[in-house]
């Protein structure tokens, strides 16, 4: 059997009770979710991805599944089999689907398909709907013989201009699904031929440990405890160590800011995801920079930085950076805006849609622009404050967990003709 990820028990007092979101998002959406859940009661859904921790998909599933279950929908989360070689290949696919070069050899194809075949053999058939996340398990459907279920391929990355060789290889496997879900219309590869394509952006959970309200005083104590100086400005990027998140570009932008504001500090917080072997090399390069710069900090989940600390850093930082070059959605952008924090971010993928309309000038395309925007916001705290406030309302309206659950319930009800 494919390993099942435990997301803990739920009880009515916890965030898995949908009623607890009513004060944050209003009645209409909660009532619709309750109505949809009545027609979906007893439906069995199996989410399949490659890792239980690190990155946005794991973050989303760990929050969604307890709520699904509390609403009477059977939701499981299973992890495919993989080893370092397989995850190196699938990280290459991930990058290639976002446009990077990749050498697609027969050995690569063989390894990828063999792992999918083994995972398919280990998959139980007693579900009504399978939701397959991202490229790692995209060929499972091909190897599974039980045919009565609905299969959904959920794409979390920007596949608008994929590497042709990798896309042509994966496309037939993806097209075997009954539906595909993309974060936005622009991400659909031009030649995808599927009858049902849905557009559903991800969302953050305002009640999770990562996003719950925390007293500022506590956040500042957490930050001080890590050795960062609270008397000087703090810039923060929270991201996997991935070339598309451009951590080295962030360091260059920070150094440009530092030429004007000597005390400024940069904190990089980065989780190491189980399916992302590329991260270690990037972390090593960053550590070499940290060694020569006392105002540059790097923290990882390996040194105890968990959800609570990420929350505290996001709330206590002066400015947030998310200098992505390519991005599926970028949950961290909504996480920052929900905390009413101003953010300078790359104009990539799903990031612009999260920005409040009047503050899109803080979407950047270069290191120089990023530095200029950071300096401007440091010098204009009134603009920074109103940007954060507008960002919070934008996230409330569109990118909180109930919106995602409502959209997914609508899709599943449609696919199952309920």
Q: Given the rule CB under 6 A, which residues bind ligand UDP? A: 55-56, 59, 210, 238-240, 269-271, 301, 305, 307, 310, 329-332, 335
**Shortest distance, CB of residue 311 to ligand UDP, whole angstroms?**
9
Q: Collapse the DSSP code of 216 into the 3-class scheme (helix H, G, I; strand E, B; otherwise coil) and give the result.
A: helix
Q: Look up residue 82 and give its two tokens.
A: 């993989």
Decide whether 120 or 236 has the Cβ nearer to ligand UDP.
Answer: 236
Q: How far is the CB of 378 from ligand UDP (least distance, A)?
A: 23
Give 77 or 329: the residue with its C-beta nearer to ligand UDP: 329
Q: Checking DSSP bridges between strand 234-238 and strand 319-322, what pairing results, if any?
A: parallel
Q: Exposure pattern of 38-69 as b/e (b: 16+ CB <10 Å)?
A: eebeebebbbbbbbbebbbbbbbbbbbbbbbb
Q: Which is nearer to ligand UDP, 59 or 369 (CB)?
A: 59
CB of 31 to ligand UDP, least distance (A): 28
Q: Please give the order of strands across the beta sheet that includes 74-79.
A: 74-79, 44-49, 129-133, 150-154, 179-182, 197-199
Rank residues 88 and 274 by Cβ distance to ligand UDP and give the closer one. 274
Dihedral (CA of 235, 236, 241, 242) sign: negative
Q: Among all residues, whose Cβ is closest to ligand UDP? A: 56
Q: Look up residue 175 and give its two tokens.
A: 């097209």
Which residues on neighbouring strands pair with residue 300, listed in sequence order? 270
Which residues pair with residue 237 across a beta bridge? Answer: 268
How far apart are CB 136 and ligand UDP at their closest, in Å? 13
Cα–Cα distance, 186 to 261 (Å, whole number): 39
Please state the closest distance from residue 86 (CB atom) to ligand UDP, in A: 19
Shortest Å, Cβ 313 to ligand UDP: 9
Judged by beta carbon, residue 150 or residue 154, the one nearer ligand UDP is: 154
Q: Which of 151, 167, 148 is nearest to 159 (CA)?
A: 167
> 107 or 212: whose CB is closer to ligand UDP?
212
């Amino acid at each position: 059997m494919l390993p099942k990820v435990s997301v803990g028990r739920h009880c009515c007092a916890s965030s898995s009770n949908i009623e607890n979101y009513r004060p944050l998002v209003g009645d209409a959406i909660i009532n619709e979710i309750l109505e949809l859940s009545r027609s979906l009661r007893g439906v069995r859904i199996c989410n399949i991805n490659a890792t239980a921790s690190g990155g946005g998909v794991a973050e989303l599933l760990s929050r969604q599944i307890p709520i699904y279950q509390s609403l009477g929908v059977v939701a499981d989360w299973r992890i495919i089999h993989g080893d370092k070689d397989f995850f190196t290949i699938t990280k290459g696919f991930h990058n290639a689907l976002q446009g990077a070069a990749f050498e697609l050899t027969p050995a690569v194809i063989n390894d990828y398909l063999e792992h999918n075949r083994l995972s398919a053999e280990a998959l139980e058939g007693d579900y009504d709907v399978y939701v397959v996340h991202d490229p790692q398990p995209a060929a499972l459907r091909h190897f599974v013989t039980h045919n009565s279920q609905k299969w959904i391929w959920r794409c979390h990355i920007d596949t608008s201009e994929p590497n042709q060789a990798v896309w042509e290889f994966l496309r037939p496997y993806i097209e075997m699904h009954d539906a595909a879900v993309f974060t936005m219309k622009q991400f659909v590869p031009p030649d995808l031929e599927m009858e049902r394509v849905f557009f559903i952006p991800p969302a953050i959970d305002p009640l999770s440990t990562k996003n719950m309200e925390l007293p500022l005083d506590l956040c500042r104590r957490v930050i001080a405890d890590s050795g960062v100086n609270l008397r000087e400005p703090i810039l923060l990027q929270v991201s996997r160590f991935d070339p598309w998140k451009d951590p080295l570009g962030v360091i260059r932008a920070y150094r440009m800011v530092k030429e004007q504001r000597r005390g400024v500090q940069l904190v990089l917080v980065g989780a190491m995801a189980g399916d992302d072997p590329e991260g270690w090399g990037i972390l090593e390069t960053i550590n070499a920079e940290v060694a020569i710069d006392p105002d540059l900090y790097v923290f990882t989940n390996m040194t105890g930085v968990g959800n609570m600390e990420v929350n505290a850093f996001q709330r206590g930082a002066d400015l947030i950076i998310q200098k992505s070059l390519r991005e599926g959605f970028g949950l961290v952008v909504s996480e920052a805006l929900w905390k009413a924090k101003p953010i300078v971010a790359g104009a990539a993928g799903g990031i612009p849609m999260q920005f409040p309309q009047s503050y899109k000038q803080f979407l950047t395309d270069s290191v120089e622009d990023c530095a200029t925007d950071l300096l401007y916001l440091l010098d204009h705290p009134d603009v920074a404050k109103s940007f954060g406030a507008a960002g919070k309302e934008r996230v409330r309206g569109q990118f909180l967990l109930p919106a995602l659950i409502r959209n997914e319930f609508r899709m599943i009800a449609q696919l199952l003709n309920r």
